[in-house]
């Protein structure tokens, strides 16, 4: 599939900021064999006084924008044309959890893909016994390796939790969303990540885009009108990282475009900012991800 | 030894009384007595010296030390359940004495350890060979909050990760020294060591002068030289980054900044501009390429590290990544402090150097491995079991994670279960019995557990070890009471050489009473802001005190509060409805407290005496407010307050170095005084001003004598205007202060570009000229109010230009 993606992040400040420092992670990733960025354009208005990009620890493309002059709003726009190929269907070759632990221990690397980063608590995914218990109960009767366990967990969450775009904000703690059984993709993902880690299954957070309008005859997916989030779990040395969308109870094919990987939202948030002499005001996000009609 | 004072052996008669109660516990090493129960040679002369002093003599000496610490304003902040309070520095008056030989062994062991740590941390942020070769478990790093991913692959600009570190060491019962913990992020205590030394040398001045005790100054001098060498530009200051005045050891940050001539900055003072780290100063943005970081790494940058931090500088990590600033120590070096690292360092040492560590650390087992877990479980009565990722020192943990009783009280099964399920998060550490050292208690010496904190600095010629200065001593004969927050004390440590020691003198301690300002050229904007408002608030308090005194002066002379003149004072000058002395006192208590708050934020810039003088006034005000006073007493009491406050103003104008900072404080005073005088004169010139208002104005303006001397007749509106607005020789007049202000502003940076005046300078010139051309007849209330508006604009412009 070929998509045209457009993202607009706009921030209006409460008052005039005399300066601002922002860090963004919004450009789609290039993932060999799966996702190719044909072209991309990232811009900022007002024009930043300083701008440069770097690759962060997890390999994500990050861009900083520094504004030194007074301004009262900022708009970041990202446009990209991305080619998506469906991953090959895989048989379940995932080990059980005891075997998984051994395979993890055999990885003696701290590369950005190493499972070790994604096992312990992280800033937005603390250890919670309620979630550990939930996870144990769900997988108690699941047959097979950790892959079906991961899917069973996601399905259970999708069933128990209600998607509600107004129920939580980016600052709502994961556990609160779980207790109230509602939230958005960020909450679904954090909760599943916490559940997986409690079982000793390495799990990471994926931010990205979701196709805006479904192919004919399919339902519109939740979370398509803003940047989306899903998860990725390490299913043993053979299978590696497998992605899954708990908000829509969906395996990942060609409807999802990856932007960034991290331990949780705090590693990949689309935009982080610090303002001088002004408070954060309101922000809005607009996303379009449209399949490109091929020329005949 | 040629010293005639040296006696051949212990003198049983002289020292008997002193040592009668001194009984180290069996199985515990002691600093004073060796294992055979004899006084160690290094202590002999000192104990003899002490035994010759009588009780009063000792009390006087200890007082001298305490007095020094009070005068120098040494404090630390103790965190309580509700508020953090400033506490006096808990000096134990008896130093710990160590022989040169003993020290040489400790120092060389620590240098070896420092080199090993440098290699380990370079590997953790670089090649990761230790992991690949199985010397460290990957998860211990990957799940470690102190391992900062944004710094992976970043080479430190100074060439090293570690430049200033500390070790906590203790002596085991065998006499062997052990490392209890490594402090590699931003260790504190070196500045306090200097104060320990000064205070202790004042307690034992004669003895210290003739004893061959290694001096500390050379260490700091060498450290500073090391930092200076990393600067990009000779004119650049070195910045010391502090979390700010609420930090428990802020005193030390301010002290060291002054002592070493560094610029004390908070995260807010710094900004990233055109790829470089810069400090916002009154001269504009000035580059910084060396940052001595005393703020925990995690809080240094809200964009790439802890996103909740309000203490950091957004973009700092980015500048570090680009090699544009040398952070001392490198961001992320704190990962070495992780307790579980102690379990692996011995093996890593053998793997990297082929040798075991000469100075071992306390035996530690990471419970993520089954054999180690079993060992900890089997020996749990001799273990402290605690978090593997903890970075605090053993004995220093609040909440008791390091105290074995806590876990054991839950029963053996609980420990076994915990080790089984949470083993990866736990370490077991052998409980170390620390050696004891003498403290002074009820007239004699008593043994208390102690540990040394030893500082190492990287210098152009390699590691340098600070010879002594800092030991922590427990409050009771129990090692878990060693933490200062738990009532422990701190001692000086004397390394005694057999021969004469070098006595470096280049850096002398900052003298209380004189504000050093060795970096006048780069006054941070925030410091300027605080100095300016300190000046304004002090002046505002003074104005309110004068009005208060005048009000109660009238009342005690029999005028009723409802009469015209008292009502005029209340509503126009004190802006308060109540005539209650306590309520009214808030009018000067509030600004005074605000002034103190400003002062506390810039301890490195105002003299200790100045701050103490202000605190004295605040204390006196507090007393006045707490004990209800009679109306007749209110005016005289305020007179005393005013004299005390004048003491502060006197220090400012007589004792402070004429730095840019001083100009801002003085400018704040002038702006406040000039605008307040405009208000008073305008109001008194209004047609509805009550009778007696002219004399009131003279009293408020402290110009009764000046007026009499110049006019020899009762005050008229014109004479009043002349003396309080237009007389450039009267330090109470508006013109006097506009002239002083103009003088200050002309001396500020960036007031003129080519031939154009800056907005500040233009506004200043305009205000000054507008007043100077007036005469006593022409200066009416409307003009006074317009002038006041100009002064306020000037204040805004000053803020905008220099204080943001």
In this predicted model, what pLDDT tens digit does every residue of B41-72 receive, in sequence order? Answer: 999 999 999 999 988 999 999 999 998 888 88
- pLDDT bracket for residue B2 (50, 70, 90): very low
Q: Are the C-beta atoms of A208 and A259 separated by less than 8 Å?
A: yes
CA B537 to CA B676: how far, in whole Å?
12
Q: Is any Cβ of chain B less than 8 angstroms from the Cβ of A295?
A: no
The residue-averaged pLDDT of B103-110 equals: 97
Task: Work out the end-to-end distance of chain A between its first and last CA atoms, rounded to an integer number of angstroms.
Answer: 15
Q: Is any Cβ of chain B less than 8 angstroms from the Cβ of A18?
A: yes
Residues of B in contact with A277 (CB under 8 A): 804
Q: Are the C-beta atoms of B425 and B460 separated by less than 8 Å?
A: no
CA A276 to CA B273: how far, in whole Å?
14
The residue-averaged pLDDT of A268-296 equals: 83
CA B338 to CA B62: how far, in whole Å?
39
B307–A109 C-beta distance less than 8 A: no
CA B627 to CA B179: how far, in whole Å?
54
B143 to chain A: nearest residue by CA? A120
B131–A50 C-beta distance less than 8 A: no
Q: What is the pLDDT of residues A41-75, one digit of tens each?
A: 999 999 999 999 999 999 999 999 999 999 999 99
Reduced to 3 states, what is the DSSP secondary structure of residue B732? coil
Q: What is the pLDDT of residues B138-191, one digit of tens each?
A: 989 999 999 999 999 999 999 999 999 999 999 999 999 999 999 999 999 999
Q: How many CB pairs under 8 A join A and B?
A: 71
Q: Is any Cβ of chain A less than 8 angstroms from the Cβ of B422?
A: no
Residues 631-650 of B with CB under 8 A from A: none
Residue A202 pLDDT > 90: yes
Residues of A in contact with B321 (CB under 8 A): 54
A232 pairs with which residues across the strands?
A204, A243
CA B630 to CA B95: how far, in whole Å?
51
Q: What is the pLDDT of residues B220-254, one digit of tens each?
A: 999 999 999 999 888 889 999 999 888 888 889 99
The residue-averaged pLDDT of B451-465 equals: 95
The closest CB to that of B150, out of A57, A107, A120, belongs to: A57
B168 pairs with which residues across the strands?
B181, B453
B138–A116 C-beta distance less than 8 A: yes
pLDDT given for residue A88 in this prediction: 78
A266–B307 C-beta distance less than 8 A: yes
pLDDT given for residue B441 in this prediction: 87
The torsion angle over the Cα atoms of residues B38, B40, B41 and B44, rounded to 10 degrees, is -80
The closest CB to that of A66, out of B128, B152, B272, belongs to: B272
Reduced to 3 states, what is the DSSP secondary structure of residue B341? helix
Q: Is the dihedral of CA A178, A181, A187, A192 positive or negative?
A: positive
Structure tokens, B444? 């004699």
Length of chain A: 296
CA B224 to CA B292: how far, in whole Å?
10
The closest CB to that of B138, out of A19, A68, A108, belongs to: A108
CA B55 to CA B83: how far, in whole Å?
38
For B606, the enclosing helix (H) or strand (E) is none
Phi, then psi, of B533 in degrees rounded to 5: -75, -30
Structure tokens, A270? 């689309």
Residue A169 pLDDT > 50: yes
Q: Is any Cβ of chain B less than 8 angstroms from the Cβ of A195?
A: no
B304–A110 C-beta distance less than 8 A: no
Q: Is any Cβ of chain A less than 8 angstroms from the Cβ of B488?
A: no
CA B172 to CA B180: how far, in whole Å?
11
Count of CB atoms situated within 10 Å of the CB of A97: 14
Residue B512 pLDDT > 50: no
Better-predicted residue by pLDDT, A114 or B515: A114
pLDDT given for residue A194 in this prediction: 97
Residue B518 pLDDT > 50: no
Q: Which of B289, B326, B322, B323 is nearest to B162 (CA)?
A: B326
The residue-averaged pLDDT of A28-42 equals: 95
A57–B152 C-beta distance less than 8 A: yes
Q: Are the C-beta atoms of B561 and B579 separated by less than 8 Å?
A: yes
- pLDDT bracket for residue B1 (50, 70, 90): very low
The residue-averaged pLDDT of B477-496 equals: 78
pLDDT given for residue B485 in this prediction: 61
The residue-averaged pLDDT of B353-365 equals: 94
* DSSP designation for B690: P
CA B77 to CA A275: how far, in whole Å?
30
Q: Are the C-beta atoms of B81 and B478 separated by less than 8 Å?
A: no
Q: Is any Cβ of chain A less than 8 angstroms from the Cβ of B270?
A: no
B138–A109 C-beta distance less than 8 A: yes
Q: What is the pLDDT of residues B10-42, one digit of tens each?
A: 555 567 778 888 988 888 999 999 989 899 999
* Strand A35-45 versus strand A279-291 pairing type: unpaired
Biggest distance spanned by C-alpha atoms of chain B: 100
Looking at chain B, the whole-number percentage of residues with pLDDT higher than 90 is 62
B139–A119 C-beta distance less than 8 A: yes
Phi, then psi, of A191 in degrees rounded to 5: -65, -45
Phi, then psi, of B521 in degrees rounded to 5: -65, -25
Residues of B in contact with A51 (CB under 8 A): none
Choose the mutation target among B302, B318, B344, B800 for the interface with A, i.e. most A CBs under 10 Å. Answer: B318
The closest CB to that of A274, out of B131, B149, B303, belongs to: B303
Residue B398 pLDDT > 80: no
CA B700 to CA B376: how far, in whole Å?
76
Q: What is the CA radius of gyration of chain A?
A: 19
Can you tell me which residue has the tokens 């110049």? B710
A272–B307 C-beta distance less than 8 A: yes
CA A186 to CA A189: how far, in whole Å?
5
Q: Is any Cβ of chain B less than 8 angstroms from the Cβ of A53?
A: no
Residue B552 pLDDT > 90: yes
From B132's Cα to the closest Cα of chain A, the distance in A is 5
CA B374 to CA B788: how far, in whole Å?
79
CA separation (Å) from B624 to A133, B115, B379, B498, B666? 61, 59, 62, 58, 28
CA B334 to CA B161: how far, in whole Å?
10
Q: What is the ipTM of this complex?
A: 0.94
pLDDT given for residue B281 in this prediction: 92
For A125, the enclosing helix (H) or strand (E) is none
To 5 degrees, how large is the angle CA B379–CA B385–CA B388?
125
Residues of A in contact with B274 (CB under 8 A): 50
Task: Work out the end-to-end distance of chain B between its first and last CA atoms, rounded to an integer number of angstroms.
Answer: 63
B128–A110 C-beta distance less than 8 A: yes
CA separation (Å) from A9 to A27, A77, A227, A276? 13, 6, 10, 19
Reduced to 3 states, what is the DSSP secondary structure of residue B386? strand
| Mean pLDDT, chain A, integer | 92
pLDDT given for residue B509 in this prediction: 43
Q: Which of B190, B278, B272 is nearest to B239 (CA)?
A: B278
Q: Which of A73, A122, A284 is nearest to B143 (CA)?
A: A122
Contacts of A166 (CB under 8 A, 6+ apart): none
Q: What is the pLDDT of residues B282-304, one digit of tens each?
A: 989 999 999 999 999 999 999 99
Residues 123-142 of B with CB under 8 A from A: 128, 131-134, 138-139, 141-142
Q: What is the pLDDT of residues B556-608, one digit of tens each?
A: 998 988 899 999 999 888 888 788 888 899 999 999 999 999 998 888 888 88
| Mean pLDDT, chain B, integer | 88
Count of CB atoms situated within 10 Å of the CB of A180: 15
Contacts of B558 (CB under 8 A, 6+ apart): none
CA B171 to CA B180: how far, in whole Å?
10
Residues of A in contact with B310 (CB under 8 A): none
Q: Which of B520, B659, B661 is nearest to B237 (CA)?
A: B520
Better-predicted residue by pLDDT, B315 or B414: B315
pLDDT given for residue B410 in this prediction: 53
């Amino acid at each position: 599939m070929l998509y045209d993606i457009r993202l607009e992040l706009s921030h209006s400040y409460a008052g005039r900021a005399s300066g601002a420092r922002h860090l963004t992670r919004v450009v789609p990733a290039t993932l060999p064999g799966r996702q190719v960025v044909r072209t991309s354009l990232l811009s900022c208005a007002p024009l930043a006084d300083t701008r440069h990009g770097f690759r962060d620890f997890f390999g994500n493309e990050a861009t900083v924008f520094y504004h030194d002059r007074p301004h009262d709003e900022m708009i970041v726009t990202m446009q990209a044309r991305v080619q998506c190929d469906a991953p090959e269907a895989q048989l379940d070759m995932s080990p059980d959890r005891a075997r998984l632990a051994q395979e993890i221990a055999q990885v003696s690397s701290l590369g950005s893909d190493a499972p070790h980063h994604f096992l312990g608590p992280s800033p937005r995914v603390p250890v919670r016994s309620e979630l550990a218990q939930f996870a144990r109960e769900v997988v108690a009767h699941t047959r097979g390796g950790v892959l079906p366990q991961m899917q069973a967990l996601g399905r259970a969450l999708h069933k128990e939790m209600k998607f509600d775009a107004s129920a939580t904000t980016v600052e709502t703690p994961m556990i609160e969303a779980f207790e109230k059984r509602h939230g958005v993709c960020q909450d679904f993902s954090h909760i599943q990540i916490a559940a997986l880690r409690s079982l000793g299954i390495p799990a990471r957070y994926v931010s990205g885009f979701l196709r805006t309008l479904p192919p004919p005859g399919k339902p519109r997916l939740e979370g398509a009108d803003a940047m989306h989030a899903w998860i990725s779990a390490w299913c043993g040395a053979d299978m590696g990282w497998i992605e899954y969308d708990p908000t829509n109870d969906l395996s990942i094919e060609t409807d999802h475009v990856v932007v960034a990987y991290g331990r949780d939202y705090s590693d990949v948030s689309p935009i982080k900012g610090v303002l001088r002499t002004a408070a954060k005001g309101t922000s809005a996000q607009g996303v379009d991800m449209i399949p490109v009609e091929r020329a005949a | 030894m040629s010293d005639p004072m040296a006696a051949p052996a212990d003198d049983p008669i002289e020292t008997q009384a002193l040592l009668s109660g001194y009984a180290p516990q069996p199985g515990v090493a002691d600093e004073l007595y060796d294992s055979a129960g004899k006084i160690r040679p290094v202590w002999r002369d000192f104990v003899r010296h002490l035994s010759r002093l009588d009780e009063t003599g000792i009390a006087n000496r200890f007082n001298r030390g305490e007095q020094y610490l009070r005068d120098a304003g040494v404090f630390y902040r103790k965190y309580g359940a509700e508020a953090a309070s400033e506490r006096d520095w808990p000096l134990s008056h008896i130093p710990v004495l160590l022989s040169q030989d003993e020290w040489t062994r400790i120092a060389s062991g620590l240098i070896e350890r420092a080199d090993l740590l440098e290699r380990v941390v370079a590997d953790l942020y670089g090649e990761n060979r230790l992991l690949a070769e199985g010397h460290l478990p990957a998860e211990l790093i990957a799940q470690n909050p102190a391992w900062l991913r944004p710094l992976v692959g970043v080479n430190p600009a100074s060439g090293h990760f570690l430049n200033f570190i500390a070790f906590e060491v203790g002596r085991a019962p065998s006499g062997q020294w052990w490392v209890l913990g490594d402090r590699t992020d931003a260790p504190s205590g070196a500045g306090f060591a200097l104060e320990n030394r000064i205070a202790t040398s004042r307690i034992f001045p004669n003895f210290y002068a003739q004893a061959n005790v290694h001096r500390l100054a050379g260490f700091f001098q060498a450290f500073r030289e090391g930092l200076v060498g990393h600067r990009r530009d000779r004119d650049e200051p070195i910045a010391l980054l502090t979390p700010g005045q609420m930090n428990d050891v802020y005193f030390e940050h301010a002290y060291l900044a002054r002592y070493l001539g560094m610029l004390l900055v908070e995260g807010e003072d710094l900004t990233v501009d055109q790829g470089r780290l810069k400090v916002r100063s009154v001269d504009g943005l000035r580059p910084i390429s060396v940052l001595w970081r005393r703020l925990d790494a995690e809080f240094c940058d809200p964009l790439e590290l802890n996103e909740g931090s309000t203490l950091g500088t957004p973009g700092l990590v980015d500048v570090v990544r680009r090699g544009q600033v040398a952070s001392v120590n490198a961001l992320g070096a704190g990962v070495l402090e992780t307790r579980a690292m102690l379990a692996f360092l011995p093996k890593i040492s053998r793997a990297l150097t082929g040798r075991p560590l000469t100075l071992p650390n306390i035996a530690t087992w990471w419970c993520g491995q089954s054999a180690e877990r079993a060992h900890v479980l089997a020996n749990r009565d001799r273990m402290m079991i605690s978090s593997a990722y903890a970075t605090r020192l053993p004995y220093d943990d609040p909440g008791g994670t390091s105290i074995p009783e806590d876990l054991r009280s839950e029963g053996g099964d609980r420990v076994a279960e915990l080790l089984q399920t949470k083993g990866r998060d736990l370490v077991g550490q052998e409980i170390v019995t620390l050696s004891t050292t003498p403290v002074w208690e009820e007239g004699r010496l008593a043994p208390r557990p102690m540990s040394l904190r030893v500082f190492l600095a990287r210098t152009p010629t390699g590691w340098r070890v600070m010879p002594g200065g800092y030991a922590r001593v427990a409050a009771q004969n129990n090692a878990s009471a060693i933490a200062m927050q738990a009532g422990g004390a701190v001692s000086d440590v004397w390394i005694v050489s057999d021969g004469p020691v070098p006595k470096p003198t280049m850096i002398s301690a900052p003298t209380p009473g004189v504000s050093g300002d060795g970096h006048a050229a780069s006054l941070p904007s925030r410091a300027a802001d605080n100095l300016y408002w300190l000046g304004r608030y002090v002046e505002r308090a003074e104005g309110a005190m004068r009005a208060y005194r005048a009000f109660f002066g009238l009342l005690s002379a029999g005028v009723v509060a409802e009469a015209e003149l008292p009502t005029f004072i209340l509503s126009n000058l004190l802006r308060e409805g109540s005539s209650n002395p306590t309520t009214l006192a808030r009018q000067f208590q509030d600004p005074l407290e605000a002034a103190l708050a400003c002062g506390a934020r810039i301890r490195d810039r105002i003299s200790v005496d100045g701050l103490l003088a202000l605190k004295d006034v605040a204390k006196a005000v507090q007393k006045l407010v707490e004990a209800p006073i009679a109306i007749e007493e209110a005016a005289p009491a305020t007179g005393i307050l005013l004299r005390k406050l004048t003491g502060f103003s006197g220090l400012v104008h007589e004792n402070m170095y004429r730095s840019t900072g001083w100009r801002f404080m003085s400018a704040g005073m002038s702006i406040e005084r000039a605008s307040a005088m405009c208000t008073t004169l305008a109001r008194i010139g209004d047609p509805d001003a009550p009778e007696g208002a002219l004399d009131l104005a003279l009293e408020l303006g402290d110009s009764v004598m000046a007026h009499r001397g110049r006019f020899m007749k009762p005050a008229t509106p014109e004479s009043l205007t002349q003396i309080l607005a237009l007389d450039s020789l009267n330090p109470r007049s508006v013109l006097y202060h506009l002239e002083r202000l103009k003088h200050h502003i002309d001396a500020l940076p960036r007031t003129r570009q080519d031939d154009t005046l800056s907005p500040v300078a233009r506004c200043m010139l305009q205000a000054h000229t507008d007043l100077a051309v007036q005469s006593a007849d022409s200066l009416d209330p409307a003009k006074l109010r317009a002038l006041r508006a100009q002064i306020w604009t000037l204040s805004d412009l000053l803020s905008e230009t220099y204080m943001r």
